[in-house]
């Protein structure tokens, strides 16, 4: 059976146009952008164009785009870089429990080094109230880091409102926009975020490239010191082909991202309705309305965790078991009893079709029934 891929939040395939754009930079366009000869200058021009394409998608200036190796690097660079640059101003950082480990672990690392970290809990819809966040700001606060959209549940955080609060208090805001870019409009100005992270492989570019937007005036110590590339903000010879790919993927997202998101949302909604109608004991995770249109996080009662993901995998359907509760994307109370439940995250994308949805809706009800039957121990009664 050919594989049905419904795990786009984990990674996306490289679009054919993106691959076409990047390949010349492994061949005749192999130059080092720092070289002053024609081969180097051509590589530099390609990087410059990509910078403009990324900036156009995120509504910032090209000079504010710093290319990195992945969003994990971007998040580390933002959090540790601000902490180092503003160490004299204060030592308090605010974030949420729903953040990706590439935000939480740098924050924990800083906590061990003497910084104070406030980690806001989210409610059982995976949301938090910006007013609660504001109450935790002190004169020592130097950075707020909140994601735009959650990777497990798709819940979209009110980052614009947090941006207003941050601006009012003179605190930097970093936003991990990895899961949002290409799925919803991401406008750095509206978010009022001084720092924004994104990742190539979530946007139909390859793995190994990312970016950090550093708005003008933001003080940041670099993570990597060396040859002074990226205007001293990120040393290391540029991954030219990867950067070209990220630029091309950004241009495609800008051109057709909104139409594609609407198509994918319809598919996701049909999948969601179909599952909730056909199968009992299923709970949808995340916010009912403020949620990415491609993501469907579900919890199935009466099944061992991970049982469904493995069973679907054996049938050629790739989904994630990403547990919304253990990842902190939902309130701790909602996580009680998580191990007696199975979690599924469907995340759809550009190559998802109505036929994919039909296949899942055909297979899943029977599969859940037989797995529940086995889990209940009454194998004789199982069909
Ligand atoms: C919300 C979020 N932030 C950061 C990352 C890390 O991205 P990368 O794989 O580019 O390091 C991911 C990857 O899953 C993510 O979902």
- Read off the pLDDT of each residue in 268-274 and give the average, rounded to a whole number: 98
CATH number, span 4-10+257-376: 3.90.1150.10
Q: Is 347 in the pocket of ligand 1 (CB under 6 A)?
A: no
Q: What totals of helices (H) and strands (E) does the chain contain, helices first?
A: 11, 12
C-beta separation of 196 from 168 below 8 A: no
**Mean pLDDT for all residues in the chain:** 94
* Ligand 1 atom at minimum distance from 99 CA: 1
Residues of the chain with CATH 3.40.640.10: 16-253
pLDDT greater than 50 at residue 333: no
Chain centroid, CA 147 distance in Å = 8
Task: Name the residue of 152, 175, 202 to mutate for ligand 1: max ligand atoms within 8 A of Cβ.
Answer: 202
Identify the residue whose C-alpha is closest to ligand 1 atom 16.
151
Q: Dump strand ranges (E) for the chain.
A: 4-5, 65-68, 92-96, 116-120, 141-147, 172-176, 195-199, 210-214, 282-285, 295-301, 317-318, 341-347
CATH number, span 16-253: 3.40.640.10
Percent of the chain clearing pLDDT 70 (strictly above):
94
Query: Would you state the pLDDT for residue 55?
Result: 98
User: What does the pLDDT look like over 315-328, one tens digit per residue?
Assistant: 999 999 876 556 67
Show the DSSP H helices in 206-317 as ranges.
Answer: 240-278, 307-314
Query: Would you state the pLDDT for residue 380?
Result: 54
Distance (Å) from CA 103 to ligand 1 centroid: 9
* Ligand 1 atom at minimum distance from 70 CA: 10
Residues 6+ apart with CB under 8 A from 152: 9, 285, 286, 297, 322, 323, 324, 327, 329, 345
Side-chain-facing half-sphere of 218: CA atoms under 13 Å: 31
Whole-angstrom distance, CA of residue 51 vs CA of residue 63? 8
Whole-angstrom distance, CA of residue 253 vs CA of residue 18? 11
Q: Dump strand ranges (E) for 34-78.
A: 65-68
Whole-angstrom distance, CA of residue 265 vs CA of residue 28? 41
Query: Would you state the pLDDT for residue 340?
Result: 73
Whole-angstrom distance, CA of residue 343 vs CA of residue 353? 22
pLDDT greater than 90 at residue 149: yes
Query: Would you state the pLDDT for residue 305?
Result: 78
Higher pLDDT pick, 337 / 153: 153
User: What does the pLDDT look like over 52-107, one tens digit per residue?
Assistant: 999 999 999 999 999 999 999 999 999 999 999 999 999 999 999 999 999 999 99
Residues of the chain with CATH 3.90.1150.10: 4-10+257-376
Q: Tokens 């191990």 — which residue?
A: 339
Burial 346-366 (b: 16+ CB within 10 A, else e): bbbbbebeeebbebbbebbbe
Instruction: Report the catalytic residues.
Output: 325
């Amino acid at each position: 059976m050919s594989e049905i891929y419904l795990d786009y939040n984990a990674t996306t395939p490289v679009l054919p146009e993106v691959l076409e754009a990047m390949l010349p930079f492994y061949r005749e366009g192999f130059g080092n952008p720092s070289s002053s000869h024609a081969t180097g200058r051509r590589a530099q021009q390609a990087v410059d164009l990509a910078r403009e394409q990324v900036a156009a998608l995120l509504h910032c200036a090209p000079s504010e785009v710093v290319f990195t190796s992945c969003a994990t690097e971007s998040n580390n660079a933002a959090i540790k870089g601000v902490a180092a640059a503003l160490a004299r101003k204060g030592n308090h950082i605010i974030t949420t429990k729903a953040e990706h480990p590439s935000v939480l672990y740098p924050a924990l690392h800083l906590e061990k080094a003497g910084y104070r970290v406030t980690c806001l809990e989210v409610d059982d819809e995976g949301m938090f109230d910006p007013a609660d966040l504001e109450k935790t700001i002190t004169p020592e606060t130097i950075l707020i880091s909140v994601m735009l959209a959650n990777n497990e549940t798709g819940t979209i955080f009110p980052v614009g409102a947090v941006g207003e609060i941050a601006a009012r208090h003179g605190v930097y805001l970093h936003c991990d926009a990895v899961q949002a870019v290409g799925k919803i409009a991401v406008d750095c100005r509206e978010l009022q975020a001084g720092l924004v992270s994104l990742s190539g492989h979530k946007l139909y570019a390859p793995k190994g490239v990312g970016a950090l937007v550093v708005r003008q005036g933001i003080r940041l110590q670099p993570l990597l010191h060396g040859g002074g590339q990226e205007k001293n903000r990120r040393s290391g010879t540029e991954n030219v082909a990867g950067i070209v790919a990220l630029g091309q993927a950004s241009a495609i997202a800008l051109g057709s991202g909104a139409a594609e998101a609407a198509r994918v949302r319809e598919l996701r909604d049909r999948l969601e309705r179909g599952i909730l109608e056909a199968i009992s004991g299923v709970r949808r995770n995340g916010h009912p309305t403020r949620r990415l249109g491609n993501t469907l996080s579900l919890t199935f009662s009466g099944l061992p965790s991970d049982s469904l993901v493995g069973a679907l995998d054996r049938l050629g359907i790739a989904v994630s078991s990403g547990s919304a509760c253990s990842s902190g994307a939902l309130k701790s109370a909602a996580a009680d009893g998580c191990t007696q439940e199975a979690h599924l995250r469907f995340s759809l994308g550009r190559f998802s079709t109505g036929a994919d949805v039909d296949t899942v809706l055909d297979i899943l009800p029977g599969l859940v029934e037989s797995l529940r039957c086995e889990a209940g121990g009454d194998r004789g009664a199982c069909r």
